[in-house]
């Protein structure tokens, strides 16, 4: 082979090699050249005053994660039965660690219960279900998670683009490098796993140090979870969910129909479901059938149950939080 041809082939090989490496390893594909990223950069630069140069530098580092796309396609709340789901979250270990967390932060939890009307055990259970009391806050960079879902998950791209913008705004407000925070595969952060819009809307400075930190500050995290529930309408002293029985011929069409309570207890009683005599008939509820360890279980979800589902839109999640909270409270007493 003549020398000029050899040199040309060597140059071509050197140019193609990095592209082949990227194709072989999709986890190294960044979002700097993604067409949708350019559109997003222009929007937030024009509307929110970010530097396009700075945004391009950040997205040159943001990496597509196939593992995130895989995880979001099979969430436990949609693939597991109640029996399987409960075994993950309502365990002796999580109950005992919840008692330890309560003991460590009992003054803060008592204050939060007084300030917001949310029981301490519910706050503890949320943090327990979300991150095992701060031990597992996530392993993905938030910018990678949100970019992957904003630009390569068409099913919910609009939602995650909004969250990506919220994350950039949050980083600017908190004076954080957006390349550093880590969280869940869906971009949720801190002890209580707040998505960026929830962080900006509901996280609070609960220890008075003039900085809102739910990543590393359990006091702010406790206050923020309580504030979230209060802002979503938690009613102090009211029931959350009660067991019911289904009579023969009950109306199956209303089972698992909606997370939001919309049928009065009087109507549910007439539809073949037992109703606790202590509950007023004009209160509304939703009726659920869950597949438990011993077969079908029937439950009435009341207003506060619905509030828990505002944290995660799943009846399995809300039931796990509630039952964990009750087990913690019972064992602690």
Q: Which residues are catalytic?
A: 130
For residue 253 the two structure tokens come to 């069409």
Q: How far apart are CA 67 and CA 23, in angstroms?
A: 16
CB 221 within 8 A of CB 261: no
- Cα end-to-end span (Å), the chain: 85
Burial of 295 (0-12, 13-18, 19+ CB in 10 A): exposed
Go through 245-266 and write b for each residue having 16 or more CB atoms within 10 A of its CB, e for each that does not. ebeeebbeebbeeebebebbbe
**Would you put residue 273 in left (φ > 0), alpha (ψ -120 to 50) or beta?**
beta
């Amino acid at each position: 082979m003549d020398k000029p041809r050899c040199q040309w082939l060597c140059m071509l090989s050197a140019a193609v090699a990095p592209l082949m490496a990227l194709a072989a390893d999709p986890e190294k594909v960044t979002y700097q050249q993604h067409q949708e990223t350019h559109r997003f950069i222009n929007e937030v630069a024009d509307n929110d005053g970010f530097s396009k140069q700075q945004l391009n530098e950040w997205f040159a580092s943001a990496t597509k994660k196939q593992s995130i796309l895989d995880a979001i396609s099979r969430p436990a709340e949609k693939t597991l039965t109640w029996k399987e789901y409960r075994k993950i979250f309502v365990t002796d270990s999580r109950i005992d660690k919840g008692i330890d967390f309560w003991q460590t932060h009992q003054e803060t939890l008592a204050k939060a219960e007084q300030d917001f009307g949310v029981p301490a055990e519910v706050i503890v259970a949320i943090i327990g279900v979300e991150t095992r009391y701060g031990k597992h806050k996530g392993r993905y960079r938030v910018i990678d998670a949100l970019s992957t879902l904003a630009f390569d998950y068409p099913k919910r791209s609009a939602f995650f683009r909004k969250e990506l913008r919220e994350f950039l705004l949050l980083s600017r407000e908190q004076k954080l490098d957006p390349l550093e925070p880590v969280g869940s595969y869906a971009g949720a952060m801190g002890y209580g796993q707040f998505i960026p819009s929830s962080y900006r809307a509901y996280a609070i400075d609960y220890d008075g140090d003039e900085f809102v930190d739910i990543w590393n500050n359990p006091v702010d995290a406790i206050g923020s979870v309580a504030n979230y529930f209060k802002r979503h309408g938690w009613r102090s002293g009211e029931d959350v969910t009660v067991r019911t029985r289904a009579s023969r011929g009950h109306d199956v069409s209303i089972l698992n129909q909606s997370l939001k309570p919309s049928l009065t207890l009087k109507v549910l009683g007439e539809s073949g479901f037992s109703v606790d005599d202590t509950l007023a008939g004009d209160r509304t509820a939703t009726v659920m059938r869950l597949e438990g360890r011993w077969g079908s279980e029937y439950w009435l979800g009341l207003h506060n149950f619905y509030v828990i589902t505002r944290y995660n839109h799943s009846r399995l999640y809300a039931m796990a939080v509630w039952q964990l909270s009750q087990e913690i409270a019972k064992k602690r007493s």
